[in-house]
Structure 1
């Protein structure tokens, strides 16, 4: 069922509004914070080492209570530190080439032409041309 003229105008208006106002939300700022691959790897290794220390602490619990307790607490601290390190973003640096295309004026023109093509295809479908 095709849209009425009023519905089509309302849809076009909402689309223009979203393209103008929400482009700021989509584009990444210049000082974007991204996750570092190195920090992810080191964090994962720390989590695994901490998990091993917790398991070793549990195994030593019966034979040597203080050593098992210290090893378990240290392992838990290592796991928490590894997770924090893995999910902490870094500012700029080599890991920051994630700026979106919409931050450039040419990206905005490509978006507009894409929307124009989509509108043309929609009109052709509604008219039965293909």
Structure 2
């Protein structure tokens, strides 16, 4: 069921408010550190190779091979989850001129006013 015009406007306003005031929720980490897909793939491959070595070490009772397999698995997990230095991204700024031309009332104040007007109309 499609949204009415009023509901669509309200949704758009909520999205703009979220993008403007809560950019840290919407954007990636601002310190420039992000997960690399290449590292995730390499880490996954290392985990699989280490798992194979661990299974071979257990099945042949060669403890050294099993320990090496475990260390390789651990290294793969660390490689996969370690963020890499990327292009630093700042907070998302949507329509800065529109934000300055709006009244000083907060989003929640406007929502409360709308709620009160709706309740008075009933």
TM-score (norm: length of structure 2): 0.58
- In 1, distance between residues paired with 2:120 and 2:66? 71
Match of 1:69 in 2: 63
What is the TM-score with the length of structure 1 in the denominator? 0.55
- The Cα RMSD (Å) is 3.8
Note the C-alpha offset of 1:127.
Answer: 2.6
Answer whether contact 2:24 2:91 (CA < 8 A) is retained.
no
Q: Match for residue 58 of structure 1?
A: 58
CA distance in 1, matches of 2:33, 2:118: 43
In the alignment, is residue 90 of structure 1 matched against residue 71 of structure 2? no
**Are 1:41 and 2:41 an aligned pair?**
yes
* Runs of 4 or more consecutive aligned structure 1 residues displaced over 4 Å after TM superposition: 22-28
- Name the one with the larger helix percent: 1
Listed as ranges, the gaps of 5+ residues in structure 2 are: 1-20
- Given that 2:40 and 2:80 are in contact with CA atoms closer than 8 Å, whether structure 1 keeps it comes out as yes
1:1-130 maps to which residues of 2 (within 5 A)? Answer: 28-29=29-30, 31-61=31-61, 68-93=62-87, 99-102=90-93, 106=96, 109=99, 115=107, 118-128=111-121
